[in-house]
């Protein structure tokens, strides 16, 4: 099994890169794990209290459960991946049955901040994107897909996203095996990743 960690700031294009890799591999051989599924359960809080959580701080992630699930996948076992609701700012009571593939891709802004998770990755990738471009992408996504209003997105970006990126996310570049510039479609970098994956699988 090959476990790949793909990190980078919010709106950097992690999901796009993941999709570009996945399309080159048989669906049965690839398992994709999103860090977003592993936000801690906050059912004990009110909705307003959940809205106020700093979701860009490493403490918001249930790294213990993520580590446990990656170990199980490494053993070839099936896991029950949590399902998260961005509208409710909380996990749902549903899970997604996730089987172990030959390639496991874990993507998320904070996945390289945790040493135990980092140690499980065979390849660590950091997606580097201009901060203005990331903000534009985040704004479009949160308004269109997550039911946020523009003011909420901009306030969160200014108060939490930007400072958390500078404090926790950007420094994890030092742990990356490969840094991929992604202001525009990067054919060369994607081809390099595909080649590495295919070589490791063979």
Rounded Cα distance, 3 and 70, in Å: 9
pTM across the whole model: 0.86
pLDDT tens string 17-45 = 888 888 877 778 889 999 999 999 999 99
CATH number at residue 109: 3.40.50.300
Domain that holds residue 122: 2-201
Q: How many domains does the chain have?
A: 1
Which residues are bridge partners to 97 per DSSP? 80
* Mean pLDDT estimate for the chain: 87
Which residues are bridge partners to 80 per DSSP? 97
**Are 117 and 173 within 8 A, CB to CB?**
no
Model confidence at 147, pLDDT cuts 50, 70, 90, reads low
């Amino acid at each position: 099994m090959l476990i790949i960690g793909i990190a980078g700031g919010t709106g950097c294009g992690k999901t796009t890169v993941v999709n570009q890799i996945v399309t080159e591999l048989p669906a049965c051989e690839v398992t994709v794990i999103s860090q977003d599924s592993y936000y801690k359960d906050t059912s004990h809080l009110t909705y307003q209290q959940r809205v106020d959580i700093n979701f860009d701080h490493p403490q918001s992630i249930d790294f213990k459960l993520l580590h446990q699930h990656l170990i199980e996948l490494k053993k070839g076992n099936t896991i029950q991946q949590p399902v998260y609701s961005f509208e409710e700012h909380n996990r749902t009571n549903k899970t997604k049955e996730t089987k172990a593939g030959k390639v496991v891709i874990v993507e998320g802004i904070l996945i390289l901040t945790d040493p135990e998770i980092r140690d499980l990755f065979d390849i660590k990738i950091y997606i580097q994107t201009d901060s203005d471009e990331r903000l534009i992408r985040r704004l479009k996504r949160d308004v269109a897909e997550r039911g946020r209003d523009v003011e909420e997105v901009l306030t969160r970006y200014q108060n939490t996203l930007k400072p958390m990126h500078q404090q926790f996310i950007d420094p994890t570049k030092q742990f990356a095996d490969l840094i991929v510039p992604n202001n525009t479609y990067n054919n060369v970098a994607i081809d390099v990743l595909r080649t590495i994956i295919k070589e490791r699988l063979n």
